[in-house]
């Protein structure tokens, strides 16, 4: 009899202590504590260190990334994106707008000094203008929709509210993804059409030494079809545009590329000891940061280009509008190109009358 009572008491005590243990685990979890006594021989600290440093366990899913429980580099990526990247980008763009406003107030519009001659010279054919506007139009939409992704929630969301912002951002995201291809085509076409005029020469040093003649009236450094300033814009657009395109494609098709580890491995061949063992997730994070940084630099530079190609310089926009510019404008800004063109016209047989 005694032994039966003892057995019943033992079962009750066991059940009770089990319930207490379960309950205390639940309470601990609710309070954000790590449940204990579930790890066998491994200590809690070891296990959570393993998880927190982004190590992969094993999963039976096809998606290997699912084996990483806590992807700690995401914290660093987020704080870089929302911190220095956004701040530096915003600063760059505001500085550019400020400098251009000051320049306009002090120097004013750069006029054709001799006044319009009312004679024109062909500067860009229709294929050049098509390439330019394909690249420019798509870039402007890509720039605005990209800026919305980075700053929209702080600048636009409070003004138009969550529903309109959500529709705007979703539409913007589609536009961004599809117009990227128009930009790439425009970029490639512009490269093919203009690269031969953008090879650096000694003349460019003289143009740069004279500040391009844009700061003082009456100063006109010699230049061929493109001056040194335009060559800089050309090469930054081409190299930056290619880089933004490649990183953009990597973002569109996630976890398929190893561009950063490959590039760093290449740089390591000249002795830079850069890390090359990135996880697919880290590759994505670097792609995003690089895509954002290069785009912000390009946007700031293109704002200056748009200024000088439109309100900043009399007669410039005609080059990309009708394709013909005033002869006096051409002589003031691209004198050697005008001479070359006139020479070519003389030496080519004139059409029969």
Q: Which of 146, 221, 309, 315 binds ligand HEM (CB under 6 A)?
A: 309
Using CB under 6 A as the binding rule, whether residue 123 contacts ligand HEM is answered as yes
Using CB under 6 A as the binding rule, whether residue 191 contacts ligand HEM is answered as no
Q: Which of 81, 129, 220, 305 binds ligand HEM (CB under 6 A)?
A: 305
Applying CB under 6 A, which part among 38-46, 152-160, 260-268, 305-313 lies near ligand HEM? 305-313
DSSP-derived secondary structure for 177-246: HHHHHHHHHHHHHHHHHHGGG----HHHHHHHHTGGG-SSTT-----SSS-HHHHHHHHHHHHHHHHHHH
Q: Which is nearer to ligand HEM, 132 or 331 (CB)?
A: 132
Interatomic CA distance for residues 197 and 177, integer angstroms: 31
Interatomic CA distance for residues 35 and 40, integer angstroms: 13
Using CB under 6 A as the binding rule, whether residue 230 contacts ligand HEM is answered as yes
Backbone angles phi, psi at 34, to 5 degrees: -80, 125
Q: Other CB atoms closer than 10 Å to residue 176's CB: what's the count?
A: 21
Q: Shortest approach of ligand HEM to residue 232 CB, angstroms? A: 8
Using CB under 6 A as the binding rule, whether residue 233 contacts ligand HEM is answered as yes
Q: Which of 319, 326, 328, 331 binds ligand HEM (CB under 6 A)?
A: 319
Q: Shortest approach of ligand HEM to residue 140 CB, angstroms? A: 5
Applying CB under 6 A, which part among 100-108, 154-162, 201-209, 315-323 lies near ligand HEM? 315-323
Residue nearest to ligand HEM (CB): 309
Q: Within positions 60 to 119, which residues make up the interface with ligand HEM, using CB under 6 A?
A: none
Taking Cα atoms as reference points, which of 194, 161, 179 lies closest to residue 337? 194
Question: If you compute the radius of gyration of the chain from its CA atoms, what whole number of angstroms results?
Answer: 31
Q: Which is nearer to ligand HEM, 88 or 232 (CB)?
A: 232
Give CA separation, 182 vs 101, 135, 143, 260, 272, in Å: 31, 7, 13, 25, 36
CA dihedral in degrees (292, 235, 325, 114; nearest 10)?
100
Q: Which of 112, 131, 135, 327 binds ligand HEM (CB under 6 A)?
A: 135
Q: Which is nearer to ligand HEM, 204 or 283 (CB)?
A: 204
Q: Shortest approach of ligand HEM to residue 90 CB, angstroms? A: 19
DSSP-derived secondary structure for 10-71: HHHHHHHHHHHHHHHHHHHHHTTPPP-S-STTS-HHHHHHHHHTT-B---SSS-GGGGBS--
Q: Shortest approach of ligand HEM to residue 310 CB, angstroms? A: 4
Give me the residues that bind ligand HEM (CB under 6 A), please: 123, 132, 135-136, 139-140, 190, 226, 230, 233-234, 237, 302, 305-306, 309-310, 316-317, 319-320
């Amino acid at each position: 009899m005694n032994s039966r009572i003892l057995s019943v008491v033992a079962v009750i005590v066991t059940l009770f202590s089990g319930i207490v243990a379960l309950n205390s685990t639940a309470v601990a979890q609710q309070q954000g504590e790590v449940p204990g006594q579930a790890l066998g021989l491994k200590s809690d600290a070891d296990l959570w260190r393993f998880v927190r440093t982004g190590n992969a366990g094993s999963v039976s899913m096809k998606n290997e990334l699912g084996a990483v429980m806590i992807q700690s580099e995401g914290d660093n990526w987020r704080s870089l994106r929302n911190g220095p990247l956004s701040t530096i980008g915003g600063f760059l763009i505001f500085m550019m707008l400020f400098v251009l406003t000051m320049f306009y107030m002090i120097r004013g519009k750069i006029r054709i000094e001799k006044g319009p001659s009312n004679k024109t010279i062909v500067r860009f054919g229709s294929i050049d203008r098509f390439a330019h506007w394909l690249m420019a139009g798509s870039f402007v939409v890509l720039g605005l929709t990209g800026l919305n992704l980075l700053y929209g929630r702080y600048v636009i969301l409070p003004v138009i509210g969550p529903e309109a912002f959500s529709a705007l951002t979703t539409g913007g995201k589609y536009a961004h993804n599809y117009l990227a291809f128009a930009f790439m085509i425009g970029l490639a076409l512009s490269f093919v059409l203009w690269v031969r005029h953008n090879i650096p020469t000694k003349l460019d040093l003289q143009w740069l030494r004279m500040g391009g003649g844009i700061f003082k009236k009456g100063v006109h450094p010699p230049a061929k079809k493109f001056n040194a300033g335009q060559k800089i814009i050309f090469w930054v657009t081409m190299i930056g545009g290619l880089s933004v395109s490649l990183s953009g494609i990597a973002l569109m098709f996630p976890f398929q590329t190893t561009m950063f580890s490959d590039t760093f491995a290449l740089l390591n061949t000249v002795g830079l000891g850069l890390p090359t063992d990135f996880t697919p997730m880290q590759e994505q994070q670097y792609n995003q940061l690089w895509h954002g940084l290069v785009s912000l630099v390009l946007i700031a530079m293109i704002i200056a280009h748009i200024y000088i190609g439109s309100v900043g310089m009399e007669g410039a926009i005609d080059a990309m509008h009708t394709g013909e510019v005033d002869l006096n404008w051409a002589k003031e800004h691209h004198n050697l190109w005008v001479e070359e063109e006139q020479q070519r016209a003389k030496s080519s047989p004139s059409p029969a009358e």
